[in-house]
Chain A
Amino acid sequence: MGAVVKGPGTAFRESSADPRTESVPFSHLSLELGHLYMEDFAEGPTRLRRHFAAVRPWVEAARAGLGPLAPGRRPRISTCFLIDDYFSRLSTPAELIPPLLEAAAEAGLTIDYLARESGCAGPAADGSRHRDRAVLAESVLHRLVESPPPGSNGFRPPVGRTGWLTNGRRTPSQRTSAALDATGVWQPPSETEARGHSVFLDVELWNGPEDGRTWSCAFLAAVWQLVRLGLLRHNGAAVLTPVRWEDGTFPADWDALPPVLRLNPSATPFTAYATCSVLPSRFLPVEHAVRVILDQVHVEAEALAQVAERSAGEGFPVPAGVVDRTSYVFPPGL
């Protein structure tokens, strides 16, 4: 495997044997200003105004909660909003986005970056550089390393085949014979890291046939968190790099829009050391699933090392575990 043969005074390097990992810029915090279903948009501007009015105080709180920074450092907080164009497309960007931005502005909020949910499933980066059919969600799927319940010695059906991921051990499958059922002993599922009692969760990552999978909302949301944390690469290259979009006009087709837009020219970087998402509490189950997924994603070591080095360098160390870098606010009235 050793790609570099070293010795006194001589070295032979082969570039293809020595992959590089592109670095990305970092804000301190990536703040998500809510998430809405397409149906919510359909309710009109009043619904959007109500949303951002409820989000507003928590944005202030998240800013304050960043804590003291090293002397001379200004907090770098970028805001983002994810639009669900993956599960339904009731309207066009031209119809949907301007009222959204207006409603945010009315509440005194700026959306720095706007992202499309299908970008989390779709091509890994701009199509010109990666013409292969690799998709981001699939890459993350390949990076899942299941948390082993005690007793796991190397055998388990891989998640890649089943499409389900748990935080523990499932109930053993039961025989269906009625005669056996009478005597059969039911065994409960268990959560691996339970404190006393289990909260067992089994997350569906996708459904549908292999060549036409529909990724689950929870899985795409986990990808979205990893993208915001700057931890994903494709063959070493950064993914979903924001594209400047400052003229205020939007196309009639979602696919004509880059996956991540930078709407605010003075925004701090999209990717950040930590994330905070202000969400309606109906998303609580989804975000529980997101945490179960994030806890089992093996992030590329070099990407992790870059964050650790950079954040420590500016006196803002991040937790080692990826899931511990995410936080949520579920405010009332959202």
Chain B
Amino acid sequence: MGGLGTTSGPVLACGEVRTCLLPHRRAVDEPTAVRLLGLRADEPVRTSRRPNRHACSPGVLTGVDCLLPTATGAKVRAVGTVTAHAGLVEGRVLQSTAYFSAPAEGPDRRRPWGYYLVRPGLLVPVGRLPGKSVTEGFLTGHQQDRLDVGSIAESLLARISRHDLLDHDAPLTTTDTSLRWTASPAGDGEPASALLTELGSGLRIAELRLPRGTTPLAAAALCEDLALHDWLLTTVGDKLDGLPPGSENQAAALKVLRPLVDHLLHLWMPRARLDRALSPLWEELERHPGFSRQWNTMAQRIRDQLALQNLIRGDAPARS
């Protein structure tokens, strides 16, 4: 299957990424990550150590035959498979992504199932695909009795979180986030762009226009990267929000700051495995709103607080 907007390729990709802290006391090592993500007996978990540790499960497919969400309410039936995989970053942050891509049009009736199984991750519309309406409908959210990609991502996350290897004793409380995304090919001469919207309660939506030929997998990887870093900013930002100054209440401040240092500060690594063609998008996000700028400020604040505490503690014995 070709990339987005190529002659044989899809015209649209849509998906949802769920991000959460692995429900376990400490970050897990690589063999444990491999056991957690081993969704299939015959296909290995892919692990990578550069530039950070990352493990990715094999893909699992879910067959669907239902109406797609549309902004106009138009009834567009699609048949095929949604693909989902899970990833674990530095043995600490768990992500699951479910996504599909769709061609501009499909046969006017459902074909034998084998036709769809040799096109994994493709949802083929019955007839023509109203791309704009589906994009808007998908980003708006789940509609009753229509395709529910979020629940596929959610059930994969739940399946891994239930694993016996996990102790469900996370070192800090965090909020799970969802990133719902669509990707369509950018027009000729048009630069790639991302419209990222925060909808509160852990929900983000991203409308992407990507260079022609970008594979749905590369689009999903970009969204996982976005979701991971947005989750880190959200989580650390929430913890620092209203933090009592360390000079007033050392113990309370340390209780908040310590798990951040132990578990999250080293995870910031934008574009770790990004398709280089998509780098300009990240650079744009770095300029506005400035993801890394915000992160560096927060990380510095945490370090300053800890440095201050050290100083105060150093003073304490002298006073007594």
Contacts and interface: CB of A to CB of B under 8 A. Distances in A.
Contacts of A300: 43
B120 interface: yes
Contact of A298 (B39, B44, B56, B117): B117
Given A5-B273, A14-B50, A16-B46, A135 B112 contact: no
Contact of A296 (B50, B66, B113, B217): B113
Contact of B113 (A16, A193, A236): A193
A146 interface: yes
A193 B220 CA distance: 32
Contacts, number: 138
Interface string A305-331: 000000000000000111110000000
Q: How big is the A interface, by class?
A: 35 or more
Interface stretch (B143-151, B261-269, B291-299): B143-151
Contacts of A148: 63-66, 79
A304 interface: yes
Interface stretch (A64-72, A150-158, A175-183, A200-208): A150-158
B255 interface: no
A298 to B, nearest CB: 5
A147 B113 contact: yes
Interface in B255-294: 273-276
B270 to A, nearest CB: 14
Contacts of B56: 1, 17
Given A6-B276, A135-B41, A146 B63 contact: yes
Nearest to B217: A1
A322 B274 CA distance: 34
Interface string B31-62: 00000000111111011111000001000011
Given A19-B44, A143-B42, A154-B82, A320 B115 contact: yes
What DSSP secondary structure best describes chain B's contact surface?
mixed
Interface in B211-233: 217-218, 220-221, 224
A84 interface: no
A138 B41 contact: yes
A200 to B, nearest CB: 15
A247 to B, nearest CB: 33
B220 A1 contact: yes
Nearest to A18: B46
Contacts of A155: 148, 151
B114 interface: yes
Nearest to A137: B41
B144 to A, nearest CB: 10
Given A1-B87, A155-B151, A139 B40 contact: yes
A252 B201 CA distance: 67
Contacts of B40: 139, 142-143
A289 interface: no
A233 B42 contact: yes
B64 A5 contact: no
Contacts of B63: 145-148, 152, 296
A154 B149 contact: yes
B2 to A, nearest CB: 14
A148 B117 CA distance: 12
B85 interface: yes
A139 B42 contact: yes
A7 interface: yes
B177 interface: no
B81 interface: yes
Contacts of A192: 113
A153 B113 contact: no
Contacts of A153: 64, 66-67, 145-148
B276 A295 contact: no
Given A3-B46, A17-B48, A295-B114, A145 B65 contact: no
A19 B189 CA distance: 36
Contacts of A147: 63, 113
Q: Residue among A146, A236, A321, A323 with the most chain B CB within 10 A?
A: A321
B276 A5 contact: yes
A56 to B, nearest CB: 32
A321 B112 contact: yes
B316 interface: no
Q: Residue among B62, B85, B115, B273 with the most chain A CB within 10 A?
A: B62
Given A148-B64, A153-B64, A323-B114, A1 B42 contact: no
A153 to B, nearest CB: 4
Contacts of A16: 44, 46-48
Contact of A17 (B46, B77, B112, B151): B46
B82 A150 contact: no
Lowest 6 A-B CB distances belong to which pairs?
A: A321-B114, A139-B42, A147-B113, A148-B63, A153-B66, A142-B40
Interface of A: 1-3, 5-7, 12, 14, 16-19, 124, 134-135, 138-139, 142-143, 145-155, 192-193, 232-236, 295-301, 304, 320-324
Given A17-B48, A320-B118, 20 more contacts: A1-B217, A1-B273, A2-B273, A17-B56, A134-B41, A149-B65, A152-B63, A154-B82, A154-B147, A155-B148, A233-B42, A235-B44, A298-B81, A299-B117, A301-B120, A320-B114, A321-B112, A321-B114, A321-B115, A322-B114
Interface of B: 39-44, 46-50, 56, 61-67, 77, 79, 81-82, 85, 87, 110, 112-115, 117-118, 120, 145-149, 151-152, 217-218, 220-221, 224, 273-276
